[in-house]
Amino acid sequence: MNTYRIAVLVGSIRRESLNRKLADALAKLAPADFSFYDLRIDDLPLYNQDDEEHPVEAVQRLRREIAEADGVLMLAPEYNRSISGAHKNAIDHGSRPYGKNRWAGKPAGIIGLSPSPCGTALAQQHLRNILAVLDMPTMAQPEGFISYYEGLFDEDGNIGPNSRDFLQGWMNRFSAWVRLHGDHE
């Protein structure tokens, strides 16, 4: 059991983050042999190449935790039509120093939630470009442009009935994607 360990990166660090809630609700839709753990990003310093070889503990922790993952689930809020600074900062820390990119080869899924009718589509476009250079096989469809509405989550934090089928389908594809790349690369 729990053969596949998925690192979850939520790009927003506020307490009541919608994307945090979505991450938790998605995890409950996963197959029994999948487990999820968070990559903490709110205590990371701003990435500075001068400190790259002597990283503080928070950076070392991030790198260890990425390395242990069988896959990565990225929850991308949209700030100013791109991913958040905190999200990008964590990605940069994990990719360095040169030649020690911990993200390489990890199968990834991208999804994001916002009150906008667009979900976080524009941020996700940028994120796809970034994950490509990191050498992360990134699931294509279904696109995860989720627009918040009353009832998206039920009172227990599960996905509500109107979005259950879509997000269960998303998780089914994502778990198949992780298995495919986990077994072979």
Q: Tell the burial category of 18 from Cβ atoms under 10 Å away from its Cβ (0-12, 13-18, 19+).
A: buried
Closest approach of a second copy to the CB of residue 169, in Å = 13
Map the footprint of a second copy across residues 58-87, applying CB under 8 A.
79-87
Give the angle subtended at the CA of 167 by the CAs of 90 and 106, to the nearest 5°.
35
Q: Which span (1-9, 67-75, 131-139, 160-168) binds a second copy, by CB under 8 A? A: 131-139
Contact status: 54 vs a second copy (CB under 8 A): no
164 token code pair: 């259950």
Per the CB < 8 A criterion, the answer to whether 181 and 137 are in contact is yes
Question: 57: helix, coil or strand?
Answer: helix
Map the footprint of a second copy across residues 99-128, applying CB under 8 A.
104, 117-119, 121-122, 125-126, 128
Contact status: 172 vs a second copy (CB under 8 A): no
Does residue 97 have a cis peptide bond before it, meaning omega lies within 30 degrees of 0? yes
Whichever of 24 and 92 has its CB closer to a second copy, that residue is: 92
Binding residues for a second copy, rule: CB under 8 A, are 12-15, 41-42, 44, 46-50, 79-92, 95, 104, 117-119, 121-122, 125-126, 128-141, 143, 145, 147, 180-181, 184-185
